[in-house]
């Protein structure tokens, strides 16, 4: 997949373009993206995604901006995995937020990305004050010479598949239900950092403590089954705690700790990803270390069984 360079505009009318944040690249998004890819292939055009470097709400209303289901690197990886030809990452800032929908269409979608057709969800809104919609795209298409298709939104279990719906599931610890809507397990990126060292020396279950960037959707406090992966060791089943460690601390910020099953090695400072297959139990305070260790043993076996039974959902290695 090519990353678009604004210094090298694409040839006129040679692209089927879709535009949006596409946070999570969930099944609803994939439905639209596959239509873009199929339409482009059938008409000898390139498939193009125009996305933004951040969620517009981070600029327009930062105090209530949503937590992101994936970072930009993950979004681009997912676009490429679907077969998108070109991704254009558009900086979103105060200046962009004041741009009219008509200007965005003419200068970016047509002028730079060479749109011969634009495909978006039928509820898509864009431009200053969100005045742009499918109807406006069609009017501009008549003026500028491109076709428009509004895609009916994908629904599962009686409700629209949306990033907002998935964020709520993840917040509530329902990572299995979130995976059903994402089409894959939810995964967060970060760097393995040193913790207090208690997991290995005192408890016998060493953990990789993942420090993530602010603004990512982290599952609610609890114990989970899932996988850890990095470029060196690939994907490894793990028992994962998202918790405040109440047996040892009265107050602490939630920390992601992954105990890798059947692994012994140094992971510090590695860029890594932790994915969440299913919820095992709530976090709880134990009377002592022995009781905690006994429960951790059960958690490990529970994670092992779940990861083995759903190995088809294990993230790609590396």
* Token pair belonging to 63: 């105090």
Rounded to an integer, what is the distance from CA 188 to the centroid of its chain? 8
H or E element, residue 302: helix 289-309
Pairing of strands 147-151, 155-156: unpaired
Is 257 one of the annotated active-site residues of the chain? yes
* Token pair belonging to 22: 């596409």
**Phi, psi at residue 224, to the nearest 5°?**
-130, 160
Matching residue, tokens 């022995």 = 290
Q: Which residues make Cβ contacts (< 8 Å) with residue 247, sequence separation at least 6? A: 285, 286, 288, 289, 292
Question: Which residue in 95, 257, 269, 301 is the catalytic one?
Answer: 257
Q: Does residue 114 contact residue 9 with C-beta atoms inside 8 Å? A: yes
Q: Does residue 80 contact residue 46 with C-beta atoms inside 8 Å? A: no
Closest CA to 257 of 305, 303, 288: 303
Q: What is the DSSP string of 172-230?
A: TT-HHHHHHHHTS-EEEEEEEE---SHHHHTTS---EEEE--TTB--PPSEEEEEEEEE
Q: Which residues make Cβ contacts (< 8 Å) with residue 45, sequence separation at least 6? A: 14, 15, 16, 39, 116, 117
In 25-162, alpha helices (H): 27-42, 57-60, 72-82, 94-97, 101-103, 134-144
Matching residue, tokens 């994939």 = 30
Which residues have a catalytic role annotated? 257
């Amino acid at each position: 997949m090519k990353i678009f360079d604004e210094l090298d505009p694409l040839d006129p009318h040679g692209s089927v373009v879709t535009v949006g944040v596409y946070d999570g690249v969930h099944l609803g998004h994939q439905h639209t993206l596959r239509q873009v890819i199929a339409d482009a292939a059938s008409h000898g055009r390139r498939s193009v995604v125009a996305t933004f470097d951040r969620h517009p709400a981070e600029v327009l209303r930062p105090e209530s901006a949503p937590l992101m289901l994936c970072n930009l690197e993950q979004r681009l990886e997912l676009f490429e995995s679907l077969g998108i030809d070109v991704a254009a990452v558009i900086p979103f800032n105060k200046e962009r937020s004041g741009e009219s929908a008509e200007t965005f269409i003419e200068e970016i979608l047509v002028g730079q990305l060479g749109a011969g057709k634009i495909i978006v969800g039928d509820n898509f809104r864009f431009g200053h004050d969100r005045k742009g919609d499918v109807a406006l795209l069609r009017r501009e298409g008549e003026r500028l010479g491109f076709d428009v298709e509004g895609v009916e939104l994908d629904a599962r279990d009686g409700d629209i598949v949306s990033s907002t719906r998935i964020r709520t599931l993840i917040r509530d610890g329902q990572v299995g239900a979130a995976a059903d809507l994402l089409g894959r397990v939810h995964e967060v990126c970060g760097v393995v950092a040193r913790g207090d060292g208690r997991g290995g020396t005192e408890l016998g279950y060493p953990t990789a403590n993942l420090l993530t960037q602010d603004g990512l959707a982290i599952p609610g406090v609890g114990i989970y089954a899932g996988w850890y992966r990095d470029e060196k060791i690939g994907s490894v089943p793990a028992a994962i705690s998202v918790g405040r460690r109440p047996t040892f601390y009265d107050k602490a910020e939630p920390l992601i700790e992954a105990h890798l099953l059947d692994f012994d090695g140094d992971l510090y400072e590695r860029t890594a990803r932790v994915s969440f297959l299913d919820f095992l139990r709530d976090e709880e305070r134990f009377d002592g270390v022995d009781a905690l260790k006994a429960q951790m043993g059960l958690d490990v076996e529970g994670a092992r069984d779940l990861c083995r039974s759903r190995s088809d959902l294990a993230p790609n290695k590396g």
